Homo-oligomer: A and B are copies of this chain.
Amino acid sequence: MARRNRQSRASSSRKKAPPKPKSAGAGANAIRLFDFEELARQRLPQMVYDYIAGGAGDEITLRRNRECFEAIRLKPRVLVDVSRLDTSLELFGQRLAFPILLAPTAYHKLVHPEGELATACGAAAAGATLVVSSFATTSLEDIARSATGALWFQLYIPADRSLTRDLIQRAEAAGCKALVVTVDTPVLGQREREMRGNFHLPPGMERVNLKGLGQRETELGHFELGGIYTPLLDASLTWKAIDWICSLAKTPVVLKGILSAEDAKLAAEHGAAGVIVSNHGARNLDTTPAAIEALPRVAEAVEGRIPVLMDGGIRRGTDVVKALGLGARAVLIGRPYLWGLAVDGASGVERVLKILFTELKAAMALCGRPTLASIDRSVLWPDR
């Protein structure tokens, strides 16, 4: 039923929907996440590739998100029994097979005709939780009906709060197990690849979960010279809105886009169930710290009261170990699964996740850390 639904939807998109991708697809020889990036670059229209790949401003933070991971050194321990690895964890009452989630990203139908349904299918196949974006091109109910794996839902909060209330209720009704509230975007960032490429949604594609807000191509919110506000986002948002959402939600409320220790403390005080350390994939404010730089301060600030997650630059199993060593309970990936989606649909998403999971296991074994609990600061080579 879910599959039929997906096919009928897909047939209305710009290309005829391909049959469900099999593992012998274009990404079958990809052996690392960067391979998917290159394959996606070759396949995607330039406008879409740039939309996904780009960062804010001069993309200094975009590069920094990677450079900082690369500069962190691991300290392997030897002669530890790593013949059995336990990568599982409990998070907000859910059991996860491994500490890697799919971060919310917009407009999957731009990337693949099956859109979010393919993403959810691939995530489920790999055993990972997908955080559905409120800018999805598929209705959250359709995704939930189709998905066999766990879903969370991400919220932007526009000025019209009734829309927010509706979305929360719809997400919870559809079975989403957590609400991720993006708090780092009172205005959109200076995303110049989008401006240059005249980014827009093609006819027939829309933010279906946000009906009532502007849907026209010209209303994507990329600010005109002089203006920085968009109706999609409420720039007057304060911690009071978080209080209101926490009072409304029955599922855990996770704040995404925290970088400072100060805001992390406030998040815990205002009832957030967790925080996601993130610079929005380097798409908002250029020259913020890399997410992995901000992580240890946030982790220290919350003192274990609530779980800390992070995203931004994860491309390798070693990156996951580093994030965990610096205080993250789990990480999220964004662009990498979109490359997978572009290359091979659901199978591509699944393969991306499995490669990363395999790398994580190898890294744990080579570090001499057989469980997630055994990964702490001591897995990192001290700076001095």
Contacts and interface: CB of A to CB of B under 8 A. Distances in A.
Interface of A: 31-32, 57-58, 60, 70, 72-83, 183-190, 192, 195-196, 223, 225-229, 234-239, 241-242, 255, 257-260, 262-263, 266, 279, 284-289, 293, 316-318, 322, 351, 354-355, 357-359, 361-363, 365-368, 381
29 contacts: A31-B195, A31-B196, A57-B316, A57-B318, A60-B70, A70-B287, A72-B287, A73-B293, A75-B260, A75-B289, A76-B259, A76-B260, A77-B260, A77-B262, A77-B263, A78-B183, A78-B258, A79-B183, A79-B238, A80-B186, A186-B366, A186-B368, A187-B366, A189-B366, A190-B317, A190-B362, A226-B358, A284-B366, A285-B318
A288 B242 CA distance: 41
Given A31-B192, A76-B259, A354-B226, A318 B286 contact: yes
A186 B367 CA distance: 10
Given A31-B195, A235-B82, A288 B225 contact: no
Contacts of A186: 78, 80, 82-83, 365-366, 368
A284 B258 CA distance: 34
Copies of this chain in the oligomer: 4
Contacts of A80: 186, 238
What are the 4 tightest A-B residue pairs by CB atom distance, in nearest-first order?
A83-B236, A285-B366, A83-B235, A78-B183
A266 B239 CA distance: 46
Contacts of A192: 31-32
A358 B227 contact: yes
A288 B74 contact: yes
A239 to B, nearest CB: 5
B79 A263 contact: yes
A260 B378 CA distance: 11
Given A57-B359, A190-B359, 20 more contacts: A31-B195, A73-B288, A77-B263, A78-B186, A80-B238, A81-B235, A82-B186, A83-B235, A185-B366, A186-B366, A187-B365, A188-B362, A189-B366, A190-B317, A223-B362, A225-B354, A228-B362, A284-B366, A287-B318, A293-B381
A354 B196 CA distance: 18
Given A76-B259, A225-B358, A286 B82 contact: no
Nearest to A286: B318
A316 B287 CA distance: 11
Contacts of A70: 58, 60, 287
A254 to B, nearest CB: 14
A195 B285 CA distance: 38
Contacts of A262: 77
A11 to B, nearest CB: 32
A225 B289 contact: no
B351 A225 contact: yes
Contacts of A317: 190
Contact of A288 (B228, B289, B381): B381
Contacts of A235: 81-83, 365
